[in-house]
């Protein structure tokens, strides 16, 4: 059973139960998903080059919350990030929003998510600037995740960071020394102070009475950066819960599997269909919000400098990521493949038709 099927079958009950909590953005996502691949007036035409079979398919909605869309977007992002990979060690830094502030995030998500990005990025830049082993220009990519593995509301930011910096004056790459990049406890202390200051003084947001003194920031080594990129790509453009994780829908109950973060074992969670729909839809992001952001050396403004750094590191003896890397192979695996139902050979996209009249006949292979 697909999430969209569950949503379509139980939409009336969901609207009745959560009428006061459904936002305009959520309603737009719902409309997009239930219309996905059902509009027969807009179709893509495919033809098999091995036989004479042709077929028309309704277009996907393209919404970033839709679990059956955005295959190519994920591939494009993986390829772009692979091109930015440096042949150095990488770290993953995770900034978590405490439970007490999540009610603010639910009611003012755009303001709070933007504040989380700006504050966390400023902290990483300042820690790098003050680091004895760095001190130069660094680069990192940040990704917003709003859920835990159980799909509960749990906003946090992941940043993947190459372990080194570029000294503009010396025009040299400076490798980070030591077993860790930054002290996680110090990061957490500054994360708490700066985010609270931003919310109260800049955004004039009233904070809840009880705010924990200890916040959570994690900083861990992730090897070459490839495992972190693959992890971050899982939930970027294809919804919160893959359809393959939905196990059963019986007697008004939905069961889905997830991997427990503590035991690393697969567990089952069961909810009523209405609560399950809400569990997923509460993670719909505000329209226009960028959930992936590049900073410093990994931003678009540093493209030429980044290529120079990659060349410098290759000449110095580091091994670059080659075209046949596991990242590219993973992208190929994720790619949507439309086999011919007659001979099982790949079909070729022939164009888009509106009202059964061709608007494009550009052939792509």
- The answer to whether residue 52 sits within a structural domain is no
Does residue 38 belong to any structural domain of this protein? no
| Domain assignment present for 352 | no
Domain annotation covers residue 325: yes
pTM, entire model:
0.84
Which is it for strands 253-259 and 266-272: parallel, antiparallel or unpaired? antiparallel
First to last CA, the chain: 31
pLDDT of 314 reads 78
Q: Which two tokens stand for residue 218?
A: 């994690």
Instruction: Return the closest-CA partner of residue 2 out of 43, 36, 46, 52.
Output: 36
**Residue showing tokens 């859920």:** 147
Host domain of residue 321: 71-240+283-332
Instruction: Give me Rg for the CA atoms of the chain.
Output: 23
| pLDDT at position 318 | 52
Asked if the structure places residue 213 within a domain, the reply is yes
Spatial CA neighbour of 4 closest among 80, 63, 78, 84: 63
Q: At what angle do helices 273-281 and 24-35 cross, to 10 degrees?
A: 110
The answer to whether residues 175 and 164 touch, using CB atoms and an 8 Å cutoff, is yes
Task: Determine contact, residues 359/353, Cβ cutoff 8 Å.
Answer: yes
Residue 354 lies in a domain: no
- On whether the CB atoms of residues 151 and 241 are closer than 8 A, the answer is yes
CA distance 133 to 99: 34
**pLDDT tens across 21-77, in order?**
999 999 999 998 988 887 656 677 888 888 888 888 777 787 888 888 776 677 788
Residue 57 lies in a domain: no
Which of the residues in the chain have pLDDT under 50? 319-336, 355, 357-365
- The two three-digit tokens of residue 20, written as one number: 């006061």
> What's the structural domain count of the chain?
1
pLDDT of residue 258: 95
In a domain? residue 257: no
Instruction: Give the pLDDT of residue 135.
Output: 78
Query: Which tokens hold the place of 44?
Result: 């893509």
Phi, psi of 159 (to 5 degrees): -125, 125
Residues in Cβ contact with 350 at an 8 Å cutoff, skipping those fewer than 6 apart:
44, 45, 46, 47, 54, 361, 363
């Amino acid at each position: 059973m697909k999430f969209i099927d569950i949503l379509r079958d139980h939409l009336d009950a969901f609207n009745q139960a959560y009428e006061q909590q459904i936002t305009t953005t959520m309603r737009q996502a719902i409309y997009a998903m239930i219309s996905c691949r059902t509009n027969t007036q807009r179709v893509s035409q495919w033809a098999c080059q091995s036989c004479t079979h042709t077929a028309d398919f309704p277009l996907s909605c393209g919404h970033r919350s839709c679990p059956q869309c955005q295959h190519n977007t994920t591939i494009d992002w993986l390829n772009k990030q692979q091109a930015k990979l440096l042949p150095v060690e990488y770290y993953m830094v995770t900034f978590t929003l405490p439970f007490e502030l999540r009610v603010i995030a639910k009611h003012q998500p755009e303001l709070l998510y933007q504040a989380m990005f700006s504050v966390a990025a400023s902290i990483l830049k300042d820690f790098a600037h003050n680091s004895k082993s760095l001190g130069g220009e660094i680069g990192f990519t940040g990704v917003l995740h709003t859920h835990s593995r159980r799909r509960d509301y749990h906003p946090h930011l992941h940043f993947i960071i190459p372990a080194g910096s570029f000294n503009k004056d010396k025009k040299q790459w400076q490798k980070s020394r030591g077993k860790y990049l930054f002290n996680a406890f110090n990061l957490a202390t500054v994360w708490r102070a700066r985010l609270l200051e931003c919310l109260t003084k800049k955004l004039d947001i009233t904070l809840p009475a009880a705010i924990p003194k200890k916040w959570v920031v994690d900083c861990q080594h992730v090897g070459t950066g490839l495992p972190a990129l693959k992890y971050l790509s899982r939930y970027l453009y294809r919804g919160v819960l893959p359809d393959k994780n939905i196990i059963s829908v019986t007697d008004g109950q939905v069961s889905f599997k997830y991997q427990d973060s503590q035991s690393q074992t697969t567990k089952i969670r069961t909810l009523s269909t209405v609560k399950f729909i809400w569990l997923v839809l509460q993670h719909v992001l505000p329209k226009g919000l960028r959930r992936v952001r590049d900073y410093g050396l990994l931003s678009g403004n540093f493209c030429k400098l980044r290529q120079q750094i990659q060349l410098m590191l290759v000449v110095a003896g580091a091994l670059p990521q080659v075209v046949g890397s596991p990242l590219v192979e993973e992208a190929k695996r994720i790619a949507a493949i439309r086999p011919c139902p007659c001979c099982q050979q790949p079909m070729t996209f022939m164009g888009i038709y509106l009202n059964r009249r061709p608007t494009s006949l550009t052939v792509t292979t």
